């Protein structure tokens, strides 16, 4: 599903002569895998996740997504892939605070141009699935951390993606709710979704089917 060949990412920094976040990274992930990416801060985990999730373009090398080289896709092409192919789960949830839980989940569907009535019933179903029935009209500010992350998961699933990307999904949660969210991700993986998760926590990483350790912009070992 995902193939990275000699992937490089350099950030232009004025003081340094460019900061190289990824240094010729090689990676291959099959459909249906649950991959945990670990490593110390600044090793390039998030950069890699951003590139895999089409938020960023690599500076060099090739990124093949389902056989297509997407490394040189335009901004709007990448937007389209983000919309329909991947779902993002963030450490800080990144929900829109002025929207209700339901509206947060509906948002990606609306960007896809679906009609309002459809999105409402589907968003309701997704919220029910992540265990938030009855909280549809709550604002994220009225929800607990665990509940917010569930809204985040429901939103990530809005457009039936093939790939779920989670950046420290339990980083802001207590251990009990963290475990609940992990169970949810594991469940989704079992249902066929490819999951890539960035984490510091080796316990959580242990739940994945494969662990990738990164160091200094490359994969260790």
- Sites of contact with other proteins (CB under 8 A): 50, 53, 55-56, 75-76, 79-80, 82-84, 88, 90, 94-96, 98-99, 107-108, 110-113, 115-116, 155, 158-159
For other proteins, the closer of residues 25 and 165 by Cβ is 165
Least distance (Å) from other proteins to the CB of residue 171? Answer: 15
Least distance (Å) from other proteins to the CB of residue 82? Answer: 4
Least distance (Å) from other proteins to the CB of residue 112? Answer: 7
Gyration radius (Cα) of the chain, Å: 17
Tokens representing 184 are 């949810």
What's phi and psi for 142, nearest 5 deg? -95, 0
What is the Cα–Cα distance from 67 to 41, expressed in whole angstroms?
31
CB 38 within 8 A of CB 212: yes
For other proteins, the closer of residues 30 and 142 by Cβ is 142
CB 5 within 8 A of CB 64: yes
For other proteins, the closer of residues 34 and 93 by Cβ is 93
Least distance (Å) from other proteins to the CB of residue 108? Answer: 5
Least distance (Å) from other proteins to the CB of residue 88? Answer: 5
For other proteins, the closer of residues 121 and 221 by Cβ is 121
For other proteins, the closer of residues 140 and 207 by Cβ is 140
Q: How many CB atoms lie within 10 A of CB 46?
A: 18
What is the Cα–Cα distance from 22 to 46, expressed in whole angstroms?
10
Classify each residue of 78-107 as buried b or exposed e, where b means 16 or more C-beta atoms within 10 Å of its C-beta. Answer: beebbbbbbbbbbbebebeeeebbbbbbbb
For other proteins, the closer of residues 158 and 205 by Cβ is 158
Of 156, 5, 18, the residue nearest 95 (C-alpha): 156
Tokens representing 133 are 């029935």
Tokens representing 51 are 């590139």
Least distance (Å) from other proteins to the CB of residue 206? Answer: 28
């Amino acid at each position: 599903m995902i193939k990275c060949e000699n992937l490089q990412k350099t950030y232009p920094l004025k003081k340094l002569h460019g900061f190289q976040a990824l240094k010729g990274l090689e990676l291959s992930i099959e459909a249906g895998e649950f991959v945990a990416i670990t490593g110390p801060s600044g090793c390039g985990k998030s950069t890699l996740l951003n590139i895999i999730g089409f938020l960023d373009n690599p500076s060099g090398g090739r990124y093949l997504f389902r056989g297509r080289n997407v490394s040189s896709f335009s901004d709007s092409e990448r937007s389209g892939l983000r919309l329909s192919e991947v779902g993002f789960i963030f450490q800080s949830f990144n929900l829109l605070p002025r929207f209700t839980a339901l509206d947060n989940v509906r948002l990606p569907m609306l960007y896809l141009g679906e009609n309002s009535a459809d999105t409402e019933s589907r968003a309701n179903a997704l919220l029910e699935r992540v265990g938030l029935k009855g909280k549809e009209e709550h604002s994220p500010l009225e929800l607990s951390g665990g509940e917010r992350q569930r809204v985040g998961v429901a939103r990530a699933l809005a457009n039936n993606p093939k790939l779920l990307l989670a950046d420290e999904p339990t980083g802001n949660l207590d251990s009990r709710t963290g475990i609940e969210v992990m169970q949810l991700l594991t469940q989704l993986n079992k249902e066929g979704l490819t999951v890539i998760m960035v984490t510091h926590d080796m316990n959580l990483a242990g739940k994945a089917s494969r662990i990738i350790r990164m160091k200094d912009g490359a994969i260790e070992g």
